[in-house]
């Protein structure tokens, strides 16, 4: 899911815990999955924002009208990212819609005895 095009509410929504943990049958495991995905989304958003703001990085020695205009563009970019839904909300929606791949390593591990 592209986090920029996600149709996710920007405010907190009450969730049904039983419905959320239906796949894993464990609320703690579900929260761990969602939090790991939220961390991935947050890291992706951070790198994307840094790339966009890096274009406006200039030397501080020249204070001109052009720099003031660039600062306004930087502010607009920052405001855009502030208005976006938080990574946790995006990850929760991805999990609910089945777009998050997860596996339990403990269940896949088999012990072979000779």
The string of DSSP codes covering 47-114 is HHHHHHHHTT---TT---HHHHHHHHHHHHHHHHHHHSPPHHHHHHHHHHTT------HHHH------
Q: Are 20 and 30 in contact (CB under 8 A)?
A: yes
Report the C-alpha gap between 114 and 55 in whole angstroms: 61
The helix/strand/coil state of 41 is helix
pLDDT of the chain along its 114 residues, tens only? 566 666 777 777 788 888 888 888 889 999 999 999 999 999 999 999 888 888 776 544 455 555 555 678 888 888 888 888 889 999 998 898 888 888 776 665 455 444
Give the tokens for residue 20. Answer: 């959320």
pLDDT at 113: 45
């Amino acid at each position: 899911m592209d986090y920029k095009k996600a149709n996710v509410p920007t405010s907190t929504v009450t969730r049904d815990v039983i419905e959320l943990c239906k796949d894993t049958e464990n609320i703690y495991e579900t929260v761990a999955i969602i939090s790991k995905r939220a961390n991935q989304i947050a890291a992706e958003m951070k790198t994307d924002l840094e790339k966009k703001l890096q274009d406006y990085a200039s030397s501080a020695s020249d204070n001109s009208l052009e720099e003031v205009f660039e600062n306004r563009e930087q502010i607009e970019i920052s405001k855009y990212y502030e208005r976006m839904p938080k990574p946790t909300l995006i990850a929760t929606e991805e999990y609910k819609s089945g777009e998050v791949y997860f596996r339990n390593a403990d269940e896949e591990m088999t012990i072979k005895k000779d």
